[in-house]
Amino acid sequence: MDISHHTVLVSGGASGIGSALAARFHKAGNKVIICGRRADMLRDMQSKHPGIDAYECDLSEPDTRVAFVDKIVREHPALDVLINNAGIQQRIDLTNNPAWEVMHREMAINLEAHIHMCTLLIPQLRKQEKPAILNVTSGLAFVPLAGVPVYCATKAAMHSFTQSLRHQLRETPIHVVEVIPPAVDTDLGGSGLHTFGVPLDEFADAAFAALRNEDHREVTYQFSSESSRASREQLDAIFERMNAPRR
């Protein structure tokens, strides 16, 4: 995709992968808008990158999403790129009667919010010349890590949804890209839980470079290149390897 002169909304753009992509879009000459729940993180991002606009909001609430989209479309009529990046990851023991509210919290932001943001913003994006929707899924969309079962299910569902979205939008100018990270060293799921992942800047540089390629429908890196293209037999072997009991 053409990587400059856009107005880009990045959900969860004040930390981790969202902030790394937001910073790169900002540096490349795009108007960048970020949102998230933590005001201090949003302010910090704005002070590091003057010119970025930030909105404090909880996208897991449907009414909040409707009001938020209404507001940013009014305040940023040139908005033409939506990056659905916000997410959480929870360890859940399915054998121990986990609370529905806890599991639904994960579905509400990782899945419901992104599907709703797409449909709310398609009318706005259709009016633009070179619009795009980028959905951030995961290498775990293709093979689950069983300790984070709802997370993996939401990512598999977002992979499926992104394919249908791309198909339904094929006659429109809206380009649909799935960004499929491997494990990346961010605070996802809690501080220090992803230190085994790829360094954030390494992944963000590779992903941003790949986005410049007009033909890219899926942006993958290392493990996610492997999992997203694996055969059923290879996926079974990856599943066994990833979920083997620790000694």
Ligand X SMILES: NC(=O)c1ccc[n+]([C@@H]2O[C@H](COP(=O)([O-])OP(=O)(O)OC[C@H]3O[C@@H](n4cnc5c(N)ncnc54)[C@H](OP(=O)(O)O)[C@@H]3O)[C@@H](O)[C@H]2O)c1
For ligand X, the binding residues (CB under 6 A) are 11-12, 14-18, 36-38, 41, 58-60, 85-88, 109, 136, 138, 181, 183-184, 186-188, 194, 197
Q: How far is CA 181 from the centre of its chain?
A: 9
Q: Which two tokens stand for residue 169?
A: 């939008």
Dihedral, CA of residue 73, residue 79, residue 85 and residue 87, to nearest 10? -10
221 is catalytic: no
Name the strand (E) or helix (H) holding 132: strand 132-136
Instruction: Kindly name the residue from 142, 151, 161, 208 that is annotated as catalytic.
Output: 151
Q: How far is CA 128 from the centre of its chain?
A: 22
Q: Which of residues 165 and 188 has its CB atom nearest to ligand X in the complex?
A: 188
User: Which residue's beta carbon is nearest to the bound ligand X?
Assistant: 16
Q: Which of residues 2 and 205 has its CB atom nearest to ligand X in the complex?
A: 205
CB of 180 to ligand X, least distance (A): 7
CB of 58 to ligand X, least distance (A): 5
Distance CA 191, CA 238 (A): 26
Q: Which of residues 131 and 181 has its CB atom nearest to ligand X in the complex?
A: 181
CB of 129 to ligand X, least distance (A): 28
CB of 18 to ligand X, least distance (A): 5
CB of 233 to ligand X, least distance (A): 24
For residue 204, which amino acid is it? A
Helical pair 62-75 and 113-126, crossing angle rounded to 10 deg: 30
- Whose CA is closest to 126, among 74, 83, 176, 52? 176
The partner residues of 55 in beta bridges, in order of sequence, read 35
- Whose CA is closest to 60, among 98, 121, 122, 106? 106
Q: Which of residues 79 and 184 has its CB atom nearest to ligand X in the complex?
A: 184
- Output the CA angle 127-134-219, nearest 5 degrees: 140
Helical pair 16-27 and 39-48, crossing angle rounded to 10 deg: 30
Q: Which of residues 121 and 184 has its CB atom nearest to ligand X in the complex?
A: 184
Mark out the alpha helices in the chain (DSSP H runs): 16-27, 39-48, 62-75, 100-107, 113-126, 149-168, 200-211, 223-228, 232-242
CB of 130 to ligand X, least distance (A): 24
Q: Which of residues 30 and 224 has its CB atom nearest to ligand X in the complex?
A: 224
Q: Write out the catalytic residue numbers.
A: 151
